[in-house]
Amino acid sequence: MTEENAQIVVHGVSQVYRPPAGREVLALSDVSLEVQGREFIALLGPSGCGKSTLLYLIGGFLPTQQGSIRVDGKPVSGPGPDRGIVFQDFALFPWKTVRANVLYGLERMDLSRHERERRAQSFIDMVGLGGFEDSYPSQLSGGMKQRAAIARTLAIDPTILLMDEPFGALDSQTRRLMQSELLSIWQRTPKTVIFVTHDVQEAVFLAGRVAVMSARPGCIKAIVETQFDKADPHLLKSPDFVNKVDEIWNLVRDEAIVAQTARHP
Amino acid sequence: MARRDNGVTTPEQPPGGRSAGLRMVRQTLRTAAYGLPVVALLIAWETFARSGAVTMFILPPASAVAERIWADAAAGDLWRNILTTMYRAFSGFLLGSLIGVAIGIGISRNALARWFFDPIISIGFPMPKVAFLPVIILWLGVFDVSKIAMVTIEVLFPVVTATVIGLQGVNRSVIWSARNLGASQRQLLWHVMIPAAFPQIFTGIQVALPIALIVAVFTEMAMGGYGLGASMMSASRLADSRGVFAGIVAIALVGYCVVKLMGLLRRRVLIWHAEAVMPSTV
Ligand SMILES: Nc1ncnc2c1ncn2[C@@H]1O[C@H](COP(=O)(O)OP(=O)(O)OP(=O)(O)O)[C@@H](O)[C@H]1O
Ligand SMILES: [Mg+2]
């Protein structure tokens, strides 16, 4: 993989948080990562290792302090609808109903009213929130909020999807459904997905590559190929798959231990 | 910001006859319990005033004051005074709220505005603004304009402060979401910042409302020219103690109604807010 044909190129990125009070935190240290167009890559790593921070940088929400991030050859200079993000804390507009939340991005696109409504409804139905179109976020459960946020981001049909633990608040049944919906969207429409999760099995199942990050300050510790036939109904029980999950789980666990000892020396 | 309130999806069970009756009884009891301390105060006032410990001039009994209010209401004086005071209080309140929100937005978005207004607001807020009354009278006279100006100035401060705090507190990722979905800087302000800060802004406006009434009555007391405050002062000058107490009770009633209405408005406007379903005492 060379720099020229990768869609997202993260090169030597470090990020320091300087809170107005308290000490500085080095969140990312010399992170380099290349993501091809149409690739589905999962990001794993212990809590606090900088996964969200990396997504914010690629999304253009935080300015790059050190190193460079290029998307489609251009340096990232701010957020844009080409890179849709699903935030870890959902970040819905609490004063808007579910429908209005999903419509917000669509209203900024060149679509007829009818088309907007149709698209909003289809994504609301897809995430299983039909019947809750007129509810406000404060009236939804955590998992429902999360699904609303996913619908809102998918609706604007971004070419790059940055998803920060998007299924974290879901029960395993809903999670399975959402996983296959995401996969089918990814297979139907050309999309590059960076998918943060703590669930190793989910990462191996969804992604073609899994990047494991080290404990804070985060860098890319290993990248593992995880190409499997996702249509295989027995995939999750196949030995190859199970071994792969095991291999990656060991990598993640080592880093989690490092993170743990860093907190309690 | 009109919110539709028919969008709540949880279908309520239609209240059955027995439980609806029960609920009504409970509601009535709750209302009665709420009013009880006030009733107790009125009874205490009445008994004390009639006990002979004080003269009727020092403290006229509650019933006599009520009679007086009734008579004033029948004669039309009461309504004229209430309307006059309300006109002054509300003009200043609306003006102060609008200017206050505008200044607050300015402070949180524009460095020049922040540089200019921040220290002025900080110094001015704890100051008794009524100390400027003599100056205002010199500049603007003793008529409506100066009273409304005084109310406006007092209302400004809590509204500015609430607006600034509200805008500062808007969740980072909510702002980022809007930017991500294609909102321009201008849309960010109107579509996201202001609605997100609105509960806080509304709180500031709610705090300012009784202040507006207080200042309106006070300026009337100081400058005359009809209104509840002025009528109390003239009653006092004529040694009409019932008139004075009638004024106090009228102000209390008007203030209570206005503040309650504001609370109702809040629940309507902030229908999306989790607090909207909680009972409110403000
Ligand atoms: N706004 C901030 N100010 C100061 N420090 C921050 C800020 N945001 C994050 N950090 C620090 O940066 C580090 C990385 O945070 P980040 O949110 O990127 O972690 P993460 O990998 O997403 O964790 P998790 O899996 O728990 O979501 C953390 O250790 C955190 O303490
Ligand atoms: Mg995170």
**Phi, psi (rounded to 5 degrees) for B67:** -60, -45
Residues B24 and B42 in one domain: yes
**Domain containing B160: what range?**
62-277
- Could you tell me which chain A residue has the CA closest to the CA of B199? A95
The pLDDT mean for chain A works out to 90
pLDDT, residue A4, reads 58
CB contact under 8 A, B195 and A95: yes
On whether residue B149 sits in a domain, the answer given is yes
| CA-A56 nearest atom, ligand 1 | 18
CATH number (domain holding residue B165): 1.10.3720.10
Q: Per-residue pLDDT tens for A175-234? A: 998 898 899 888 888 899 999 999 999 999 999 999 999 888 888 999 999 988 888 888
Query: Among all residues of chain B, which has the CA nearest to that of A139?
Result: B274
In a domain, B143, yes or no: yes
pLDDT in tens, B207-228: 999 999 999 999 999 988 899 9
The answer on B150 and B40 residing in a single domain is no
Query: pLDDT tens for residues B16-36?
Result: 556 788 888 888 888 888 889
ipTM reported for the complex, 2 dp: 0.90
Looking at the CA of A50, which ligand is closest? 1
Distance from CA of A251 to the nearest CA of B (A): 31
Q: What is the pLDDT of residues A73-128, one digit of tens each?
A: 899 999 988 999 999 999 999 999 999 999 999 999 999 999 999 999 999 999 99
B271:A139 CB<8 A:
no
Ligand 1 close to Cβ of residue A22 (< 6 A)? no
The arrangement of strands across the sheet holding A25-36 comes to A25-36, A6-17, A66-71, A74-75
B127 and B49 in a single domain? The answer is no
**CB atoms A139 and B10 under 8 Å:** yes
Is the same domain home to B255 and B234?
A: yes
> Distance between CA atoms of A133 and A125, rounded to whole angstroms?
9
Do B190 and B225 sit in the same domain of this protein? yes
Question: Is residue B3 situated within a structural domain?
Answer: no
Q: Print the SS3 string covering chain A.
A: CCCCCEEEEEEEEEEEECCCCCCCEEEEEEEEEEEECCCEEEEECCCCCCHHHHHHHHHCCCCCCEEEEEECCEECCCCCCCEEEECCCCCCCCCCCHHHHHHHHHHCCCCCHHHHHHHHHHHHHHCCCCCCCCCCHHHCCHHHHHHHHHHHHHHCCCCEEEEECCCCCCCHHHHHHHHHHHHHHHHHCCCEEEEECCCHHHHHHHCCEEEEECCCCECEEEEEECCCCCCCCCHHHCHHHHHHHHHHHHHHHHHHHHHHHHHCC
User: Which among B5, B29, B53 is the end of a domain?
Assistant: B53
Nearest residue of A to residue B192 by CA position?
A: A93
Residue B5 inside a domain? The answer is no
Q: How far apart are CA B207 and CA B154, in angstroms?
A: 11
Pair (B35, B120) in one structural domain: no
In a domain? residue B244: yes
Residue B201 lies in a domain: yes
In a domain, B9, yes or no: no
What's the pLDDT at B276? 57
Q: What is the pTM of this model?
A: 0.84
- pLDDT, mean of residues B94-118: 94
Last residue of a domain, one of B53, B82, B101: B53
Chain B residues with CB inside 8 Å of A135's CB? 7-9
**Residues B253 and B117 reside in one and the same domain:** yes
Q: Are residues B174 and B46 in the same domain?
A: no
Which of the listed residues A49, A56, A260 should we mutate to test ligand 1's pocket, taking the one with most ligand atoms within 8 A of CB?
A: A49
Tell me what pLDDT residue B12 has.
Answer: 45
Ligand 1 neighbourhood includes A47 CB (under 6 angstroms): yes
Share of chain B above pLDDT 70, in %: 90
Same domain, B117 and B242: yes
Q: Is residue B4 part of a domain?
A: no
Query: How many domains does chain B fold into?
Result: 2
**What local confidence, expressed as pLDDT, does residue B143 receive?**
86
Specify whether B112 is located in the same domain as B91: yes
Contacts of residue A168, defined as CB under 8 A and 6 or more positions apart, other chains included, come to: A88, A146, A197, A198
If asked whether residues B40 and B67 sit together in one domain, one would say: no
Q: Of A93, A105, A136, which has the smallest distance from its Cβ to B174's Cβ?
A: A93
pLDDT tens-digit map of A20-71: 888 899 999 999 999 999 999 999 999 889 999 999 999 999 999 999 999 9
Distance of residue B174 Cα from the nearest chain A Cα, in angstroms? 5
Same domain, B88 and B35: no
